[in-house]
Amino acid sequence: MNIIDNIKMAMFSIRSNKMRSFLTMLGIIIGISSVIIILGVGGGAKAYLMGSMEQMGSSTVTISVQDKNATESDYINFEDIEAIKQKVDHVKYISPDWNTYGSVSFKTKTNDAVIYGGSDDMIYLARTEMISGRFFSEEDYLSARNVVVIDEMAAMKLFGNTNVAGMTLDINIFGERARPKILGVAKSQSGGFYMEGMPYFFYMPITTMMNIGGIDEKLYSMYVMADDPAFAESMGNSVKNVLESRHSNRGRDVYKAESLMGQIDMVNNMLNIITGFIGAVAAISLLVGGIGVMNIMLVAVTERTREIGIRKSLGAKTGSIMFQFLTESAILSLIGGAIGLTLGILGAHGVSSIVSSIAKDTIRPDITMWHVALALGFSCSVGIFFGIYPAKKAAKLNPIEALRHE
Protein backbone atom coordinates (compact mmCIF):
# COMPACT_ATOMS: atom_id res chain seq x y z
CA MET A 1 0.00 0.00 0.00
CA ASN A 2 1.45 3.34 -1.07
CA ILE A 3 1.26 6.67 0.77
CA ILE A 4 -1.74 7.86 -1.26
CA ASP A 5 -3.76 4.84 -0.14
CA ASN A 6 -2.71 5.45 3.47
CA ILE A 7 -3.85 9.05 3.27
CA LYS A 8 -7.19 8.00 1.74
CA MET A 9 -7.74 5.44 4.50
CA ALA A 10 -6.77 8.00 7.16
CA MET A 11 -9.24 10.56 5.77
CA PHE A 12 -11.97 7.91 5.57
CA SER A 13 -11.38 6.98 9.23
CA ILE A 14 -11.47 10.64 10.31
CA ARG A 15 -14.70 11.31 8.37
CA SER A 16 -16.28 8.19 9.81
CA ASN A 17 -15.79 9.50 13.36
CA LYS A 18 -16.22 13.25 12.92
CA MET A 19 -17.04 14.20 16.53
CA ARG A 20 -14.36 11.97 18.01
CA SER A 21 -11.82 13.30 15.54
CA PHE A 22 -12.75 16.91 16.34
CA LEU A 23 -12.47 16.35 20.08
CA THR A 24 -9.10 14.68 19.51
CA MET A 25 -7.89 17.69 17.50
CA LEU A 26 -9.22 20.20 20.04
CA GLY A 27 -6.09 20.15 22.19
CA ILE A 28 -3.92 20.70 19.12
CA ILE A 29 -6.20 23.52 17.93
CA ILE A 30 -6.11 25.31 21.29
CA GLY A 31 -2.35 24.87 21.64
CA ILE A 32 -1.45 26.10 18.15
CA SER A 33 -3.89 29.04 18.21
CA SER A 34 -2.63 30.12 21.65
CA VAL A 35 1.00 30.02 20.57
CA ILE A 36 0.28 31.92 17.34
CA ILE A 37 -1.71 34.62 19.17
CA ILE A 38 1.04 35.07 21.78
CA LEU A 39 3.88 35.12 19.24
CA GLY A 40 1.98 37.33 16.81
CA VAL A 41 0.72 39.91 19.29
CA GLY A 42 3.93 39.79 21.33
CA GLY A 43 6.06 40.25 18.24
CA GLY A 44 3.90 43.11 16.98
CA ALA A 45 3.91 44.88 20.34
CA LYS A 46 7.68 44.40 20.62
CA ALA A 47 8.24 45.80 17.12
CA TYR A 48 6.06 48.81 17.94
CA LEU A 49 7.82 49.44 21.25
CA MET A 50 11.29 48.94 19.82
CA GLY A 51 10.50 51.23 16.89
CA SER A 52 9.31 53.98 19.20
CA MET A 53 12.31 53.61 21.50
CA GLU A 54 14.83 53.44 18.68
CA GLN A 55 13.55 56.69 17.17
CA MET A 56 14.55 58.40 20.37
CA GLY A 57 17.32 56.13 21.59
CA SER A 58 19.51 56.00 18.50
CA SER A 59 20.62 59.59 19.11
CA THR A 60 20.13 59.95 22.86
CA VAL A 61 22.74 59.55 25.59
CA THR A 62 22.10 59.50 29.33
CA ILE A 63 24.73 61.28 31.41
CA SER A 64 24.53 60.26 35.05
CA VAL A 65 26.50 60.75 38.25
CA GLN A 66 27.82 57.58 39.84
CA ASP A 67 27.09 58.23 43.51
CA LYS A 68 29.75 55.88 44.84
CA ASN A 69 32.48 58.04 43.26
CA ALA A 70 30.86 61.46 43.71
CA THR A 71 31.20 64.19 46.30
CA GLU A 72 28.89 67.14 46.90
CA SER A 73 30.72 69.32 44.37
CA ASP A 74 30.55 66.73 41.57
CA TYR A 75 26.83 66.91 40.84
CA ILE A 76 25.57 68.52 37.65
CA ASN A 77 24.15 72.07 37.76
CA PHE A 78 22.35 74.37 35.36
CA GLU A 79 25.56 76.21 34.45
CA ASP A 80 26.98 72.88 33.29
CA ILE A 81 24.04 72.45 30.93
CA GLU A 82 24.59 75.90 29.41
CA ALA A 83 28.31 75.17 29.03
CA ILE A 84 27.57 71.87 27.27
CA LYS A 85 25.28 73.67 24.81
CA GLN A 86 28.09 76.09 23.94
CA LYS A 87 31.12 73.79 23.96
CA VAL A 88 29.94 70.39 22.69
CA ASP A 89 29.30 69.86 18.99
CA HIS A 90 26.23 68.05 17.64
CA VAL A 91 24.08 68.67 20.74
CA LYS A 92 20.51 69.05 19.48
CA TYR A 93 18.52 68.83 22.72
CA ILE A 94 19.51 68.63 26.37
CA SER A 95 17.42 68.35 29.51
CA PRO A 96 17.89 67.42 33.17
CA ASP A 97 16.24 64.13 34.05
CA TRP A 98 14.29 64.28 37.28
CA ASN A 99 11.00 62.80 38.41
CA THR A 100 9.19 62.30 41.67
CA TYR A 101 5.88 61.10 43.05
CA GLY A 102 3.25 63.44 44.37
CA SER A 103 -0.48 63.93 44.38
CA VAL A 104 -2.88 66.16 42.50
CA SER A 105 -6.33 67.41 43.42
CA PHE A 106 -9.08 69.46 41.84
CA LYS A 107 -12.17 70.24 43.93
CA THR A 108 -13.05 66.88 45.55
CA LYS A 109 -11.00 64.70 43.16
CA THR A 110 -7.55 63.49 44.23
CA ASN A 111 -5.10 61.09 42.62
CA ASP A 112 -1.43 60.09 42.70
CA ALA A 113 0.84 61.63 40.09
CA VAL A 114 4.31 61.19 38.64
CA ILE A 115 5.85 64.59 37.97
CA TYR A 116 8.66 64.82 35.42
CA GLY A 117 11.00 67.78 35.68
CA GLY A 118 13.22 69.04 32.91
CA SER A 119 13.95 71.85 30.50
CA ASP A 120 11.85 72.97 27.55
CA ASP A 121 13.73 70.38 25.43
CA MET A 122 11.97 67.60 27.38
CA ILE A 123 9.12 67.63 24.86
CA TYR A 124 11.54 66.28 22.21
CA LEU A 125 13.54 63.95 24.42
CA ALA A 126 10.44 62.35 25.93
CA ARG A 127 8.63 62.45 22.56
CA THR A 128 5.69 64.12 24.22
CA GLU A 129 2.75 64.72 21.91
CA MET A 130 0.54 67.69 22.74
CA ILE A 131 -3.23 67.37 22.40
CA SER A 132 -4.16 70.92 23.36
CA GLY A 133 -2.41 74.05 24.60
CA ARG A 134 1.40 74.10 24.62
CA PHE A 135 4.43 72.70 26.39
CA PHE A 136 6.39 74.97 28.73
CA SER A 137 8.87 77.25 26.99
CA GLU A 138 12.50 78.16 27.60
CA GLU A 139 11.32 81.35 29.31
CA ASP A 140 9.05 79.30 31.61
CA TYR A 141 12.02 77.07 32.44
CA LEU A 142 14.55 79.86 33.04
CA SER A 143 12.07 81.95 35.05
CA ALA A 144 10.83 78.96 37.10
CA ARG A 145 7.25 79.87 36.35
CA ASN A 146 4.53 78.06 38.27
CA VAL A 147 3.17 76.12 35.29
CA VAL A 148 2.45 72.50 34.46
CA VAL A 149 1.54 70.27 31.52
CA ILE A 150 -0.88 67.46 32.42
CA ASP A 151 -1.64 64.25 30.57
CA GLU A 152 -4.85 63.48 28.74
CA MET A 153 -6.08 61.01 31.34
CA ALA A 154 -5.70 63.54 34.15
CA ALA A 155 -7.58 66.14 32.13
CA MET A 156 -10.48 63.80 31.42
CA LYS A 157 -10.70 62.43 34.96
CA LEU A 158 -10.33 65.79 36.75
CA PHE A 159 -12.02 68.21 34.34
CA GLY A 160 -14.03 66.03 31.96
CA ASN A 161 -12.34 67.46 28.83
CA THR A 162 -8.91 68.33 27.42
CA ASN A 163 -9.46 72.06 26.84
CA VAL A 164 -8.12 73.07 30.23
CA ALA A 165 -5.27 75.47 29.36
CA GLY A 166 -5.31 78.41 31.77
CA MET A 167 -6.98 76.50 34.60
CA THR A 168 -5.27 75.62 37.87
CA LEU A 169 -5.08 72.59 40.14
CA ASP A 170 -3.38 71.68 43.41
CA ILE A 171 -0.18 69.62 43.39
CA ASN A 172 1.48 68.21 46.48
CA ILE A 173 5.16 67.64 45.83
CA PHE A 174 8.02 67.14 48.29
CA GLY A 175 5.46 67.68 51.05
CA GLU A 176 4.71 71.18 49.75
CA ARG A 177 1.52 72.34 48.06
CA ALA A 178 1.49 74.44 44.89
CA ARG A 179 -1.20 75.65 42.50
CA PRO A 180 0.34 75.81 39.01
CA LYS A 181 -1.39 77.04 35.89
CA ILE A 182 -2.05 74.40 33.23
CA LEU A 183 -0.35 75.23 29.94
CA GLY A 184 -1.58 72.28 27.93
CA VAL A 185 -2.52 68.61 27.75
CA ALA A 186 -0.14 65.90 26.49
CA LYS A 187 -1.01 62.48 25.16
CA SER A 188 -1.07 59.94 27.99
CA GLN A 189 1.91 57.60 28.26
CA SER A 190 -0.49 54.72 28.81
CA GLY A 191 -2.51 55.56 25.70
CA GLY A 192 -6.22 55.28 26.48
CA PHE A 193 -5.74 52.50 29.01
CA TYR A 194 -6.51 53.38 32.61
CA MET A 195 -7.17 51.41 35.78
CA GLU A 196 -8.37 52.92 39.02
CA GLY A 197 -5.41 53.98 41.12
CA MET A 198 -2.99 54.48 38.24
CA PRO A 199 -1.00 57.74 38.59
CA TYR A 200 -1.33 60.66 36.23
CA PHE A 201 1.76 61.99 34.44
CA PHE A 202 2.69 65.68 34.67
CA TYR A 203 5.54 67.76 33.22
CA MET A 204 7.00 70.81 34.98
CA PRO A 205 10.09 72.98 34.58
CA ILE A 206 12.66 71.43 36.91
CA THR A 207 13.43 74.92 38.19
CA THR A 208 9.81 75.24 39.33
CA MET A 209 9.94 71.87 41.09
CA MET A 210 13.08 72.92 42.97
CA ASN A 211 11.46 76.17 44.03
CA ILE A 212 8.37 74.37 45.31
CA GLY A 213 10.40 71.91 47.35
CA GLY A 214 13.04 74.40 48.43
CA ILE A 215 15.68 72.08 47.00
CA ASP A 216 19.24 73.17 46.24
CA GLU A 217 20.39 72.85 42.67
CA LYS A 218 21.88 69.36 42.31
CA LEU A 219 21.20 67.17 39.30
CA TYR A 220 21.93 63.45 39.13
CA SER A 221 21.36 62.83 35.42
CA MET A 222 20.39 64.40 32.14
CA TYR A 223 19.47 63.42 28.60
CA VAL A 224 21.45 64.72 25.62
CA MET A 225 20.33 64.11 22.03
CA ALA A 226 22.71 64.38 19.09
CA ASP A 227 21.71 65.89 15.77
CA ASP A 228 22.86 62.66 14.09
CA PRO A 229 22.96 59.11 15.55
CA ALA A 230 26.49 58.72 14.16
CA PHE A 231 27.76 61.35 16.59
CA ALA A 232 25.91 60.11 19.71
CA GLU A 233 28.85 58.24 21.24
CA SER A 234 31.45 60.94 20.59
CA MET A 235 29.02 63.59 21.84
CA GLY A 236 28.50 61.65 25.07
CA ASN A 237 32.25 61.44 25.65
CA SER A 238 32.62 65.17 24.98
CA VAL A 239 29.89 65.95 27.52
CA LYS A 240 31.77 63.88 30.10
CA ASN A 241 34.97 65.77 29.34
CA VAL A 242 33.24 69.13 29.81
CA LEU A 243 31.78 68.03 33.16
CA GLU A 244 35.11 66.64 34.38
CA SER A 245 36.87 69.84 33.39
CA ARG A 246 34.31 72.09 35.07
CA HIS A 247 34.26 70.06 38.30
CA SER A 248 37.98 69.21 38.33
CA ASN A 249 37.37 65.50 38.90
CA ARG A 250 39.05 63.96 35.86
CA GLY A 251 40.26 60.43 36.43
CA ARG A 252 37.76 59.64 39.23
CA ASP A 253 35.14 58.12 36.91
CA VAL A 254 32.33 60.23 38.36
CA TYR A 255 30.17 60.47 35.23
CA LYS A 256 28.72 57.72 33.10
CA ALA A 257 27.61 58.18 29.50
CA GLU A 258 25.22 55.49 28.32
CA SER A 259 23.44 55.29 24.99
CA LEU A 260 19.76 54.45 25.20
CA MET A 261 20.38 51.83 22.52
CA GLY A 262 22.01 49.68 25.20
CA GLN A 263 18.90 49.98 27.32
CA ILE A 264 16.79 49.16 24.27
CA ASP A 265 18.75 45.94 23.76
CA MET A 266 18.15 45.02 27.39
CA VAL A 267 14.41 45.67 27.08
CA ASN A 268 14.34 43.67 23.84
CA ASN A 269 16.00 40.69 25.54
CA MET A 270 13.55 40.89 28.43
CA LEU A 271 10.58 40.96 26.03
CA ASN A 272 11.97 37.94 24.18
CA ILE A 273 12.30 36.01 27.44
CA ILE A 274 8.77 36.93 28.56
CA THR A 275 7.23 36.09 25.17
CA GLY A 276 9.14 32.81 25.01
CA PHE A 277 8.06 31.83 28.53
CA ILE A 278 4.39 32.59 27.89
CA GLY A 279 4.59 30.78 24.56
CA ALA A 280 6.12 27.74 26.27
CA VAL A 281 3.30 27.70 28.82
CA ALA A 282 0.73 27.85 26.01
CA ALA A 283 2.57 25.03 24.21
CA ILE A 284 1.85 22.71 27.14
CA SER A 285 -1.67 22.35 25.75
CA LEU A 286 -0.03 20.81 22.67
CA LEU A 287 1.32 18.02 24.84
CA VAL A 288 -2.16 17.51 26.24
CA GLY A 289 -3.46 17.41 22.68
CA GLY A 290 -0.77 14.91 21.74
CA ILE A 291 -1.78 12.61 24.60
CA GLY A 292 -5.36 12.86 23.33
CA VAL A 293 -4.19 11.78 19.88
CA MET A 294 -2.38 8.78 21.39
CA ASN A 295 -5.44 7.73 23.39
CA ILE A 296 -7.73 7.89 20.36
CA MET A 297 -5.26 5.99 18.19
CA LEU A 298 -5.09 3.25 20.84
CA VAL A 299 -8.88 3.07 20.73
CA ALA A 300 -8.69 2.90 16.92
CA VAL A 301 -6.23 0.00 17.12
CA THR A 302 -8.59 -1.88 19.44
CA GLU A 303 -11.60 -1.20 17.20
CA ARG A 304 -9.78 -2.26 14.05
CA THR A 305 -7.98 -5.32 15.42
CA ARG A 306 -9.89 -7.67 13.12
CA GLU A 307 -9.19 -5.41 10.11
CA ILE A 308 -5.47 -5.53 10.96
CA GLY A 309 -5.60 -9.32 11.20
CA ILE A 310 -7.24 -9.60 7.76
CA ARG A 311 -4.65 -7.28 6.20
CA LYS A 312 -1.79 -9.25 7.76
CA SER A 313 -3.23 -12.57 6.61
CA LEU A 314 -3.37 -11.15 3.07
CA GLY A 315 0.32 -10.32 3.20
CA ALA A 316 0.48 -6.78 4.59
CA LYS A 317 3.88 -6.13 6.10
CA THR A 318 4.44 -4.93 9.67
CA GLY A 319 5.94 -1.66 8.40
CA SER A 320 2.90 -1.03 6.20
CA ILE A 321 0.51 -1.42 9.14
CA MET A 322 2.64 0.85 11.32
CA PHE A 323 2.91 3.49 8.59
CA GLN A 324 -0.88 3.48 8.10
CA PHE A 325 -1.56 4.40 11.73
CA LEU A 326 1.29 6.93 11.83
CA THR A 327 -0.17 8.59 8.73
CA GLU A 328 -3.59 8.78 10.37
CA SER A 329 -2.26 10.35 13.59
CA ALA A 330 -0.09 12.81 11.62
CA ILE A 331 -3.00 13.92 9.41
CA LEU A 332 -5.25 14.27 12.45
CA SER A 333 -2.72 16.56 14.11
CA LEU A 334 -1.97 18.42 10.87
CA ILE A 335 -5.64 19.25 10.34
CA GLY A 336 -5.86 20.40 13.95
CA GLY A 337 -2.74 22.49 13.43
CA ALA A 338 -4.17 24.12 10.29
CA ILE A 339 -7.42 25.00 12.09
CA GLY A 340 -5.46 26.28 15.10
CA LEU A 341 -3.21 28.33 12.81
CA THR A 342 -6.21 29.97 11.14
CA LEU A 343 -7.88 30.75 14.45
CA GLY A 344 -4.55 31.99 15.84
CA ILE A 345 -4.04 34.43 12.96
CA LEU A 346 -7.61 35.73 13.28
CA GLY A 347 -7.20 35.95 17.07
CA ALA A 348 -3.88 37.79 16.78
CA HIS A 349 -5.46 40.40 14.49
CA GLY A 350 -8.42 40.72 16.85
CA VAL A 351 -6.27 41.17 19.96
CA SER A 352 -4.00 43.63 18.13
CA SER A 353 -7.05 45.67 17.12
CA ILE A 354 -8.18 45.85 20.74
CA VAL A 355 -4.69 46.83 21.92
CA SER A 356 -4.46 49.42 19.12
CA SER A 357 -7.77 50.99 20.16
CA ILE A 358 -6.59 51.18 23.77
CA ALA A 359 -3.17 52.58 22.85
CA LYS A 360 -4.72 54.85 20.18
CA ASP A 361 -2.05 53.77 17.73
CA THR A 362 -1.66 51.04 15.14
CA ILE A 363 -0.11 47.81 16.39
CA ARG A 364 0.04 45.01 13.83
CA PRO A 365 0.61 41.34 14.70
CA ASP A 366 3.95 39.98 13.59
CA ILE A 367 3.17 36.61 12.00
CA THR A 368 5.79 35.32 9.59
CA MET A 369 6.05 32.28 7.32
CA TRP A 370 8.42 30.88 9.94
CA HIS A 371 5.56 30.93 12.46
CA VAL A 372 3.27 29.19 9.94
CA ALA A 373 5.84 26.50 9.12
CA LEU A 374 6.66 26.04 12.80
CA ALA A 375 2.99 25.63 13.76
CA LEU A 376 2.21 23.10 11.04
CA GLY A 377 5.50 21.24 11.43
CA PHE A 378 5.20 21.05 15.20
CA SER A 379 1.58 19.87 15.11
CA CYS A 380 2.50 17.16 12.58
CA SER A 381 5.49 16.15 14.72
CA VAL A 382 3.24 15.87 17.78
CA GLY A 383 0.94 13.54 15.84
CA ILE A 384 3.82 11.36 14.70
CA PHE A 385 5.50 11.27 18.13
CA PHE A 386 2.36 10.35 20.02
CA GLY A 387 1.24 8.01 17.24
CA ILE A 388 4.35 5.83 17.39
CA TYR A 389 3.21 3.70 20.34
CA PRO A 390 -0.29 2.94 18.96
CA ALA A 391 1.22 2.26 15.52
CA LYS A 392 3.76 -0.16 16.98
CA LYS A 393 1.04 -1.89 18.95
CA ALA A 394 -1.03 -2.32 15.78
CA ALA A 395 1.95 -3.57 13.78
CA LYS A 396 2.89 -6.20 16.40
CA LEU A 397 -0.56 -7.80 16.58
CA ASN A 398 -0.57 -11.55 15.93
CA PRO A 399 -2.71 -12.06 12.80
CA ILE A 400 -4.38 -15.24 14.15
CA GLU A 401 -5.31 -13.61 17.44
CA ALA A 402 -6.43 -10.49 15.57
CA LEU A 403 -8.79 -12.53 13.37
CA ARG A 404 -10.35 -14.11 16.46
CA HIS A 405 -11.04 -10.66 17.93
CA GLU A 406 -14.72 -9.76 18.11
Do 351 and 299 reside in the same domain of the chain? yes
Do 380 and 250 reside in the same domain of the chain? no
> For residue 336, is pLDDT > 80?
yes
Do 221 and 291 reside in the same domain of the chain? no
Do 239 and 157 reside in the same domain of the chain? yes
- The whole domain housing 70 covers 59-259
Among 206, 230, 259, which residue terminates a domain? 259
> For residue 403, is pLDDT > 60?
no
Do 32 and 116 reside in the same domain of the chain? no
Do 45 and 146 reside in the same domain of the chain? no
Do 79 and 218 reside in the same domain of the chain? yes
Do 232 and 292 reside in the same domain of the chain? no
Do 148 and 252 reside in the same domain of the chain? yes
Do 244 and 278 reside in the same domain of the chain? no
pLDDT, greater one: 274 or 55: 274
What lies within 8 Å, CB to CB, of 206 at 6+ separation is 96, 98, 117, 118, 119, 141, 219
Among 259, 282, 312, which residue terminates a domain? 259
Do 319 and 208 reside in the same domain of the chain? no
Region of poorest pLDDT, from 66-75, 86-95, 311-320: 311-320
Residue pLDDT, tens place only, 117-141: 999 999 988 878 899 999 999 999 9
Do 104 and 21 reside in the same domain of the chain? no
Give Dmax (Cα) for the chain: 101
Residue pLDDT, tens place only, 240-294: 999 999 999 988 889 998 876 666 667 677 777 777 777 677 667 677 777 777 7
Report the number of distinct structural domains present in the chain. 2
Among 259, 280, 315, which residue terminates a domain? 259
